[in-house]
């Protein structure tokens, strides 16, 4: 499986979550190895990106000037007081 296939799978799974599918199509996400916190290079072969038993985290990348207003979650509109350059969990 290559990056295009992964993007297609992610888009299908996130199609009912606000603009998530569009953001995935635009590349506004990152997948990290949970243990090392290193970004996974999705341009590489699937076998080089992922291994059995590996745990990964996926984050969406929001631009302050984009469609998100202030520190509000784009889905539920709840406010977050975290810094903009940090991972935020809603």
Taking CA atoms, 18 is separated from 29, 35, 46, 50, 90, in Å, by 14, 29, 28, 27, 14
Q: Residue 66: its pLDDT value, please?
A: 47
Q: Residue 82: its pLDDT value, please?
A: 57
More confident residue, 52 or 90: 52
Q: Residue 89: its pLDDT value, please?
A: 60
First-residue to last-residue Cα distance in the chain: 30
**Calpha distance 8→28 (Å, rounded):** 14
Give domain limits for the chain.
Answer: 1-90
Q: Residue 19: its pLDDT value, please?
A: 82
**Calpha distance 23→76 (Å, rounded):** 17
Q: Residue 68: its pLDDT value, please?
A: 47
pTM, two decimals, is 0.66
Q: Kindly report which listed range (36-45, 47-56, 79-88) carries the lowest average pLDDT score.
A: 79-88
């Amino acid at each position: 499986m290559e990056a295009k296939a992964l993007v297609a799978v992610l888009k299908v799974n996130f199609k009912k979550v606000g603009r998530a599918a569009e953001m995935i199509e635009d590349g506004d996400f990152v997948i990290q190895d949970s243990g090392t916190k290193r970004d996974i290079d999705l341009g590489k072969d699937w076998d080089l990106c992922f291994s059995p038993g590996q745990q990964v985290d996926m984050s969406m990348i929001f631009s302050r000037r984009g469609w998100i207003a202030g520190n509000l979650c784009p889905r539920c509109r709840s406010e977050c007081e975290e810094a903009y350059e940090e991972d935020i969990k809603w």
